[in-house]
């Protein structure tokens, strides 16, 4: 009997810590607690309800993604009354990009809310996925108005400098290519596998300007190698732009 009593007490304490920490992030009281637990349930647990339907955050992620897009669009429409449709679209894309959502979700520490029976190796997208799932859970639990409050005051206000959106670049490589096209520079990015001494470094990228190498960088993946090299190129050529990092 004492074993089961202690087990229930441990579970209750764990839940109390979970929702206390969650409230610090959302500034909202959790009413439907089950929906938040679903928001942080990974598919690797293979949980199912009584009807055999999978329980994980993926459906909430879909809902949160839609809600985020609507709230951000409405916010930008009001903040930039003179902006064209094209500029508003670019601003929204920067805010809701996978890289930016991953950055925000990681800063929030959302991965710490996951309850896993065994260690799972996640890609970087897990941070953004959990953020969208949390938004979806808030929408279901507290409704459109409270969810809008959460997005505007706890995400955009705290993690997005909307006054610098014009200069915010999420990809060094993409921005570097755009710069080369605008300035009509002969820019070349070459990446190939690198079988050096460090097994964690698999690629090397060389960047050339007018057939002259200006920088090189190594990385664990092709993307990381190219981004690292492009970042060095930005610095080497003193290109004026602010990149999210």
- Residues with a known catalytic role: 65, 132
From the number of C-beta atoms within 10 Å of its C-beta (0-12, 13-18, 19+), residue 146 rates as middle
DSSP letter assigned to residue 223:
H
C-beta of residue 162 within 8 angstroms of C-beta of residue 244: no
DSSP letter assigned to residue 113:
G
The total number of residues shown for the chain amounts to 245
Query: What's the CA gap between 206 and 211, in Å, rounded?
Result: 11
Cβ atoms within 10 Å of 20's Cβ, excluding its own: 10
Q: Are strands 168-169 and 242-243 parallel, antiparallel or unpaired?
A: parallel
In DSSP terms, which residues pair with 213 in a beta bridge?
Answer: 208
From the number of C-beta atoms within 10 Å of its C-beta (0-12, 13-18, 19+), residue 9 rates as exposed
Place of tokens 């505007």: 152
Radius of gyration of the chain from its Cα atoms, rounded to whole angstroms: 22
């Amino acid at each position: 009997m004492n074993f089961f009593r202690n087990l229930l007490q441990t579970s209750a304490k764990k839940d109390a810590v979970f929702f206390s920490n969650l409230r610090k992030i959302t500034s909202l009281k959790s009413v439907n607690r089950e929906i938040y637990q679903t928001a942080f349930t990974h598919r690797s647990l293979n949980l199912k309800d009584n009807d055999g339907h999978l329980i994980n955050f993926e459906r909430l992620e879909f809902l949160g993604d839609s809600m985020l897009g609507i709230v951000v669009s409405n916010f930008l429409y009001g903040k930039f009354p003179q902006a064209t449709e094209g500029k508003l679209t670019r601003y929204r894309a920067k805010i809701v990009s996978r890289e930016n959502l991953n950055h925000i979700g990681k800063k929030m520490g959302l991965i710490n809310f996951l309850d896993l029976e065994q260690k799972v190796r996640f890609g970087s997208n897990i941070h953004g996925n959990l953020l969208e799932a949390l938004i979806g859970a808030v929408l279901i639990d507290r409704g459109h108005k409270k969810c809008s409050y959460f997005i505007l005051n706890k995400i955009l206000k705290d993690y997005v400098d909307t006054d610098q959106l014009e200069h915010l670049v999420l990809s060094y490589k993409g921005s570097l290519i755009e710069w080369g096209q605008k300035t009509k520079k002969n820019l070349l990015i070459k990446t190939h596998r690198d079988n050096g001494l460090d097994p964690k470094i698999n690629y090397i990228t060389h960047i050339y300007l007018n057939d002259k190498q200006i920088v090189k960088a190594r990385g664990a993946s092709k993307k990381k190698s190219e981004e690292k090299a492009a970042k060095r190129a930005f610095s080497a050529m003193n290109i004026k732009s602010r990149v999210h990092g």
